[in-house]
Amino acid sequence: MPHSSNSVKLKYVKLGYQYLVNHIITLIILPLMLGTLIEVLRLGPDEILKLWNSLLHLDLVQILSSSFLIIIIATIYFMSKPRTVFLVDYSCFKPPVTCRVPFATFMEHSRLILKNNPKSVDFQMRILERSGLGEETCLPPAIHYIPPKPTMEAARGEAELVIFSAMDSLFEKTGLKPKDIDILIVNCSLFSPTPSLSAMVINKYKLRSNIKSFNLSGMGCSAGLISIDLARDLLQIHPNSNAVVVSTEIITPNYYQGNERAMLLPNCLFRMGGAAILLSNRKSERKRAKYRLVHVVRTHKGSDDKAFRCVFEEEDKEGKVGISLSKDLMAIAGEALKSNITTMGPLVLPASEQLLFLFMLIGRKIFNPRWKPYIPDFKQAFEHFCIHAGGRAVIDELQKNLQLSSEHVEASRMTLHRFGNTSSSSLWYELNYIESKGRMKKGDRVWQIAFGSGFKCNSAVWKCNRTIQTPLDGPWSDCIDRYPVHIPEIVKL
């Protein structure tokens, strides 16, 4: 009981400290204003009249000069102020039930494809048991064949199914017409055909000939936020414009059929998915837009050789191409996250957390280097967290490092369970989960965090523009009532 009592006291001390520091300006200004008001009230009518007359007798040149200076300062301020970027709406691809891959189906296919290497089959089963994936994740039709048929035609077919479905849904939800799109950005890391996927979208919807289109490849699972950052920069220089970002990963040509364990991991985790996002800097979109983009912070650790090679596409000993995931991946992701939040912290954390971090940093430098570093409480800065559903280990590590509750990482865990690792689009399935649960209120702040090959850690901060009504359609519409579900540490197959 004494320990519990001390804990409660410490909690209230911290709350008092946070209130004092975060409202220090208000607490200083209010007494000053009150004191000024009292002094004015103490003045008699004659003194107030005399003060007013002295103001009226100011030199006309001084008044005009002061007014002109104020106008210049105001003009410079408003011209240098960045354009506000709104997220009007977005749409996530929902795979058809015919693409569903239950555990039994996945393992049966693995046994038939890798019948000469039972150890690889057992390895995949152990990974799947601990993956956090559920029974409803989906793989493209070409992977359902035995053996799989990863042809160019099949890959294009998957790309058309995912991207066009997401785009059609976005057009329907927003009322956007193809001719209204000024900027198009498509990101897909591992499938980069010629003509590009962005050209495929332009051809399908007959977009304008002067559209500014971009196709990003090889950027990994964090490419979605890189696309958002690129769109933001373009919207700063192109007024009154709409930008559409399409994030996906095409699985068909990248399903590994060899025996290297490091390359078999992606087979167990990656699944079909995609999202289309409408961004705009038009003032007319302010009222109906769901979110406002506040910050994008990008961190690249590619100068380090280990970080560069921790997610690496290469051939195995038999000449079969696959994505190799290094054992150092989680440690490298942790370092990238530290660098990212070091930049993000000063932008979003309240003054109380920044001061605590600064004092602890000074203490470690001057007094004792063994002091445990202070981890800022990012729950003070955000109501919602969308952590890239790269795998159970990724979510566990971030929950531990950022000291988040189970509810804070619920959207990430449930997205991994229902849809698997959908690469760069996973963040949008998570955001849609939060909306589908009716938790997104006006003024709420959302932190999206993603990791990608290279190695990169990218973050985006959004502020909710209006209270979001529970969507009637979308990827969670037919199953949200079943979630959250309990996900055991090991699912025995």
C-alpha to C-alpha distance for 280 and 239, rounded to whole angstroms: 9
Residue 191, phi then psi, degrees to nearest 5: -115, 110
* Short-list 233, 259, 262, CA closest to 245: 233
Angstrom CA distances, 359 to 109, 204, 352, 401, 461, stand at: 57, 57, 11, 20, 26
pLDDT reported for residue 20? 56
pLDDT reported for residue 9? 45
Active site residue 57: no
Residue type, position 264, single letter: L
C-alpha to C-alpha distance for 156 and 140, rounded to whole angstroms: 11
The token pair that represents 355 in the structure block:
């001061």
pLDDT reported for residue 472? 87
pLDDT reported for residue 16? 60
Strand bridging mode 274-280 / 86-92:
antiparallel
Specify the fold of 85-482: Peroxisomal Thiolase; Chain A, domain 1 (3.40.47)
Angstrom CA distances, 443 to 54, 230, 317, 450, stand at: 46, 25, 54, 23
Active site residue 23: no
pLDDT reported for residue 366? 80
DSSP tag of 431: H
DSSP-based three-state secondary structure for 461? strand
Residue type, position 69, single letter: L
Domain spans of the chain?
85-482
Catalytic residue among 242, 254, 421, 465: 421
Residues 6+ apart with CB under 8 A from 255: 139, 142, 143, 148, 150, 267
Sheet holding 456-464, edge to edge: 212-216, 183-187, 242-248, 274-280, 86-92, 291-300, 456-464, 445-452, 384-387
Helices 410-419 and 392-401: crossing angle in degrees, nearest 10, is 180
Residue 19, phi then psi, degrees to nearest 5: -65, -45
DSSP-based three-state secondary structure for 82? coil
C-alpha to C-alpha distance for 272 and 191, rounded to whole angstroms: 13
Question: For the residues of 272-298, what is the DSSP string, one character each?
Answer: --EEEEEEE--GGGTTT-SEEEEEEEE
The runs of H, that is alpha helices, within 310-419 are 329-348, 351-366, 392-401, 410-419
Active site residue 384: yes
pLDDT reported for residue 368? 75
The token pair that represents 169 in the structure block:
């849904």
Residue type, position 271, single letter: R
Is the Cβ–Cβ distance between 384 and 445 less than 8 Å? yes
Letter string b/e over residues 279-310, b meaning 16 or more CB atoms within 10 A of that residue's CB: bbbbeebeeebbbebbebbebbbeeeeebbeb
pLDDT reported for residue 371? 74
**One-letter-per-residue 3-state SS of 102-166:** CHHHHHHHHHHHCCCCHHHHHHHHHHHHCCCCCCCCECCHHHHCCCCCCCHHHHHHHHHHHHHHH
Question: For the residues of 178-193, what is the DSSP string, one character each?
Answer: GGG--EEEEE-SS---
Catalytic residue among 92, 138, 221, 386: 221
CA dihedral sign, ordered 68, 70, 71, 77: positive
Angstrom CA distances, 19 to 25, 375, 479, stand at: 11, 19, 41
pLDDT reported for residue 120? 92
C-alpha to C-alpha distance for 32 and 37, rounded to whole angstroms: 9
Sequential pLDDT tens for the chain (493 residues): 444 444 544 444 555 655 555 556 676 777 777 777 777 667 767 777 776 676 666 666 666 777 777 788 777 766 667 899 999 999 999 999 999 999 999 999 999 998 888 999 999 999 999 999 999 999 999 999 988 999 999 999 999 999 999 999 999 999 999 999 999 999 999 999 999 999 999 999 999 999 999 999 999 999 999 999 999 999 999 999 999 999 999 999 999 988 899 999 999 999 999 999 999 999 999 999 999 999 999 999 999 999 999 999 999 999 999 999 999 999 999 999 989 988 898 899 888 788 887 777 777 778 777 777 677 889 999 999 999 999 999 999 999 989 999 999 999 999 999 999 999 999 999 999 999 999 999 999 999 999 999 899 999 999 999 999 999 899 999 999 999 999 999 888 7
Residues 6+ apart with CB under 8 A from 443: 463, 464
Catalytic residue among 384, 432, 457, 458: 384
* Short-list 223, 127, 185, CA closest to 453: 223
C-alpha to C-alpha distance for 486 and 100, rounded to whole angstroms: 21
pTM, rounded to two decimals = 0.86
Active site residue 388: yes
pLDDT reported for residue 10? 47
